[in-house]
Amino acid sequence: PLSCPQTTPPLPATVSFASRAGIMFMMGKKSEIVSKANALPGRSTPLSISPAHYVLETPMKAPWPAGYKVAVFANGCFWGSEKGAWRLPFGIHTTAVGYAAGHTPNPTYEEACSGRTGHTEAVQVVFDPSQLSFVDILRWFWESHDPSQGMGQGNDRGTQYRSGFYYFDEEQKELIEQSKAAYEAAIGKKITTEVKAASDFEQVFYYAEDYHQQYLAKPGARPYCSAQPLQVSLPDFEKWALPHLAHHAPKLPKAFW
């Protein structure tokens, strides 16, 4: 199977699909998240990344503009997930790929691929809630992959490809859980998406290496996406959201979808 491209700086133009398969063959497929006691030690120094987004030309790291919100989610190989997020038509301030919901501080790509850090490949999105609703991001998240596949997505298998959404406040939690129930009913399958508080982790998101950031927009990128969307729409917001969450109504027009 095609899994975890093994790449080295400065450009992943040297990535081969054989190496994607090889790294997981060598390290083994992981079906259980490693315990904190058995996780790799990592490092105290963050991985180095460019200061500006390759496409949007906005800052890659905080501080963010006042009032902007953050979403962190995982839905398969992070290359395609990030591209889908930065291409939303308005309201996106910046995006980044990284490793989320694990134990190892500042893991490398190879460490995350080993299954010994506890992380999943993830995307961090910073958005302006006056232009784009958290519910818009949620709808895109559910519809852009198959959230019933457990520890993997498509050909990419292992805990580092598990579906997940990590909330920063109680309203995000409610919206994730209520939309999850609605989408589960719509697809007729049990959703395995991990839903946890960002505060459950010492740090929920660590930036990936610079050559992974906005990878699919860079010269020499090899198009690859493991996601297997089900072609099923999330039911209308009014059908699943409780009344006290009405102020999170979607802002993207239905024509967008």
Catalytic center residues: 77
Question: How far apart are the C-alpha atoms of 151 and 159, rounded to whole Å?
Answer: 5
Question: How far apart are the C-alpha atoms of 93 and 64, rounded to whole Å?
Answer: 9
Taking the CA atoms of 115, 209, 76 and 191 in sequence, report the sign of the dihedral they define. Answer: positive
Taking the CA atoms of 97, 102, 106 and 109 in sequence, report the sign of the dihedral they define. Answer: negative
Give the amino acid at 170.
E
Question: How far apart are the C-alpha atoms of 75 and 213, rounded to whole Å?
Answer: 16
Question: How far apart are the C-alpha atoms of 66 and 147, rounded to whole Å?
Answer: 32
Q: For residue 228, give every residue at least 6 positions away whose Cβ sits within 8 Å of its Cβ, in sequence order, or none.
A: 76, 145, 146, 149, 153, 154
Question: How far apart are the C-alpha atoms of 67 and 64, rounded to whole Å?
Answer: 8
Token pair for residue 144?
């852009």
Say if residues 75 and 138 touch (Cβ distance below 8 Å): no
Question: How far apart are the C-alpha atoms of 1 and 152, rounded to whole Å?
Answer: 11
3-class SS at 22?
helix
